[in-house]
Amino acid sequence: MMMRKDRLLLVVTLGAVFTADFYFILLPKIRHRQPGAAEHCLCPLSRGNNITSAGYSAHNIPWLSKASILDFQSMESDGTDDPTTVSSKLGRLFAHPLYNIGTPELGVDEKLLQSDDLMGYYRRKVSRWERHMKHYNEAAASVNVSVPNHKVNFDPEASWLKFHLGIDRYALYSRSDPAISRLLGDLRATTVITADYTQDEKALKGSCDCTQVVKPSGHHLKLALKLQDFGKAMFKPMRQQRDQETPGDFFYFVDFQRHNAEIAAFHLDRILDFRRVPPVVGRMVNVTGDILLTTHDEDLKSVFFTSPAKNKCFFAKCLYVCKTEYAVCGNPDLLEGSMSAYLPGLSIAPRISIPNPWIRSYTFTGKEEWEKNPFYCDNIKQLYPYNSGNRLLNIIDMAIFDFLIGNMDRHHYEIFTKFGDEGFLLHFDNARGFGKHSRDEVSILAPLSQCCIIKRSTLLRLQLLSQDRYRLSDVMRESLGEDTLRPILTEHHLLALDRRLQRVLKTVHRCIRKLGEAQVVTTDFSDTGNMPGSMRPVAASDNNT
């Protein structure tokens, strides 16, 4: 009798398991394959193809409230991103209302620079340059040395000036600023009139403390190039091929810096609508004509040599890398690299550098507090300036950005002092990104996973980029295709972006499942009119977090 009861119980259990399996797994697949099934979907976000690269669709994400989904639907329903009117995914993305949220009229204090102040600064710089060149040419003529004589064009309409004037408290540039496209073109093509070491390398004065693990300059050679319109760019030369992954034994702080990572980071930052990375392009530089023959720095001139392959090469002046094996070489003179637009000088637009609360341990052993304490963020939330305003939310934006590019080297961040605690964070120095496509360093997401808060606008854009209609890898591929050094990233790195994006969304999912959407998703804009263009940002203190 007992055996019959056991058999009956077994049959009933197996039947229940099979029924559940059929109902929840097999039946949805059958329905999905039926012709016209998509046409009868009553899901709020069923416009277009909403299936993501990980098999999710926007309507079956359980952790958005009904209000959030309806708000998102209303943003898509105005037809501005109709695929019949916008052919490319990138164009469709930038036409979406989420990328057309207006900012209020900017007051004087919300613009970084005023035109009169910047023009006066520009004129003084040009005058000093002309005096310097006069003395330099006289000295060169006295010893019968000929030097290139590039005239500086004083241009009040220069694209870099427009870029500097466009910086405000919300971002480095507006979404529709035509000066950015002009600036990218100028960075690619404008004549270089002089080359020099960057200020941090000059501060070394030819010596280094080799007891430090973190080298202030190292073999990550970079140069400051001045252009004919007096714009300035940081040049980072190519050190390794695009398909070379960072070796598994490399620590993040001794990894090579990659010029293509700088270029790709600018495009990703723009696609995420952060607009906190200065404009960057790829450019082929003539090592002899653009650097050796234009520089006035004798230290820089002294590190040039011709390799056995007859290529022109140079290396950093820091003593521990004054070796030819650390050199970068042209082919024979042409060398590709990234050109990053300089920000306004510190004398007219002061910035401060602040340690990242989630800074890593720059030693071969040991861990930081956040790596050992899962409640670390509770302590950070009590500290100024993270206990109010948007600073912590901006840190989380930066962590998401760094996770997508795989950058573990964010030890500091910078802000413009004029904008105070509410200013945005600058996402500089991204050359250690895109080193490994085969590994996702989830510890980079610690600010998000430990604090469990995220801006609503950031979350909505991440969701948008997870849809096939806008897929992140596709819009990145299209955007990077505009650069003259294309392809900038390999397909492996592009596809890794989709995979990492899903990891970010799953992290938010876990937070909302644990705390609820009201505690996790922070409203950072509000609708003051009927159109998305009239939405305004709100302070973190105005919301429910």
Residue 397 has φ and ψ, to the nearest 5°, of -55, -45
Secondary structure, 3-state, 295-323: CCCHHHHCCEEECCCCCEEECCCCHHHCC
Set 409, 474, 483, 524: catalytic member: 409
**Please, what is the end-to-end C-alpha distance for the chain in angstroms?**
61
Give the span between the Cα atoms of 299 and 317, in whole angstroms. Answer: 7
147 exposed, middle or buried (CB, 10 Å; 0-12, 13-18, 19+)?
Answer: middle
Give the span between the Cα atoms of 485 and 282, in whole angstroms. Answer: 6
Give the span between the Cα atoms of 402 and 272, in whole angstroms. Answer: 12
Asked whether the beta carbons of 469 and 48 are under 8 A apart, the reply is yes
Give the span between the Cα atoms of 164 and 265, in whole angstroms. Answer: 20
Asked whether the beta carbons of 381 and 387 are under 8 A apart, the reply is yes
Tokens of 361: 């341990």
Asked whether the beta carbons of 453 and 265 are under 8 A apart, the reply is no
Tokens of 34: 């039926």
What are the CA-CA distances from residue 310 to residues 151, 307, 313, 344 (Å)? 31, 5, 9, 39
Give the span between the Cα atoms of 396 and 434, in whole angstroms. Answer: 19
Q: Provide CB contacts within 8 A for 125, sequence distance 6+.
A: 230
Q: How many CB atoms lie within 10 A of CB 245?
A: 16
Give the span between the Cα atoms of 206 and 322, in whole angstroms. Answer: 10
* Residue 6 known to be catalytic: no
Give the span between the Cα atoms of 64 and 72, in whole angstroms. Answer: 10
Q: Provide CB contacts within 8 A for 108, sequence distance 6+.
A: 114
Give the span between the Cα atoms of 140 and 147, in whole angstroms. Answer: 7
The residues annotated with a catalytic role in the active site are: 409
